[in-house]
Amino acid sequence: MNWLKRKLQENPAYSRVAPFVVFLALTVAQDYSGVFGKYWIYFGKTLVGIWMIWLVKPYVSELRWAWSWEALVVGIAIFAVWVGLDDHYRHWGSKPTVETAWNPIRAFGEGSILGYFFCGVRILGSSLVVPPIEEAFYRSFLYRYIGHPDFTKIALNYFGWLPFLATSFIFGFAHYQWLVGIICAMAYQWLVIRKGRLGDAMTAHAITNFLLGSWVVWQGAWKFW
């Protein structure tokens, strides 16, 4: 454990990239874990994510939640755009089917405690664990690294067209809903630049994901998961 802490302390990139890579690897593993396995892997991934955030937080000074009216507006607006635009453009990759869509209610049965448990895990994981991991990677590391390899010399409020567009497109095409993903990335990056801190983007990201998760369960709109 000491070697890991030393690595995190000595390498600013490692502390921002490693949690994202581990999280991504577990996400990929979900697709190969069977009908029920993917839900348990997501649960485990969420616990691992919490541990990784706790582990790197002392070495990523900007990894602090922050509240602002801009974060609230952006979070709600991106949720509305994500749902509102979904039927109006061609998506990236294969469309989820009834069998492949994330739907624990269907998998475990109506009224199943496990079904609603995994819905709750997904909402809480996407709202509280995903935002700090993804924002630290995309907005703190990748955006600034594209601006300058020694990214810690770049202030969080720095604006450059190349990193702004590149990061937004990379984030967007990492999602099935690529268009709203790009819009989402631009909005979160704008928050970081405007405020000069990461916390507002984390909050906006959390609000978007919480509202989207609640919408999925309420409306049965499993295609968004």
Collapsed DSSP state (helix, strand, coil) of residue 123:
helix
Position 34 scores a pLDDT of 85
Position 170 scores a pLDDT of 98
| Residue 216, domain extent | 63-224
Distance separating alpha carbons of residues 142 and 187, to the nearest angstrom: 16
Position 98 scores a pLDDT of 64
15 found inside a domain: no
192 found inside a domain: yes
Average pLDDT along the chain, 225 residues, taken 10 residues at a time: 79 96 95 90 97 96 97 98 94 73 91 95 98 98 97 97 98 94 98 98 98 96 92
Position 101 scores a pLDDT of 81
Position 99 scores a pLDDT of 67
Query: Which residue matches tokens 């939640």?
Result: 65
Position 183 scores a pLDDT of 98
Query: Using H for helix, E for strand and C for coil, what is the string for the chain?
Result: CHHHHHHHHHCHHHHHHHHHHHHHHHHHHHCCCHHHHHHHHHHHHHHHHHHHHHHHHHHCCCCCCCCCHHHHHHHHHHHHHHHHCHHHCCCCCCCCCCCCCCCHHHHHCCCCHHHHHHHHHHHHHHHHHHHHHHHHHHHHHHHHHHHCCCHHHCCCCCCCHHHHHHHHHHHHCCCCCHHHHHHHHHHHHHHHHHHCCCHHHHHHHHHHHHHHHHHHHHHCCHHHC
58 found inside a domain: no
Query: Using H for helix, E for strand and C for coil, what is the string for 63-99?
Result: CCCCCCHHHHHHHHHHHHHHHHCHHHCCCCCCCCCCC
Position 111 scores a pLDDT of 87
14 found inside a domain: no
39 found inside a domain: no
pTM of the entire structure?
Answer: 0.94
- Number of domains into which the chain is organized: 1
113 found inside a domain: yes
Position 210 scores a pLDDT of 98
Distance separating alpha carbons of residues 175 and 114, to the nearest angstrom: 27
45 found inside a domain: no
Distance separating alpha carbons of residues 172 and 151, to the nearest angstrom: 22
Position 4 scores a pLDDT of 77
Position 172 scores a pLDDT of 96
Position 92 scores a pLDDT of 81
Q: Which two tokens stand for residue 78?
A: 């991106």
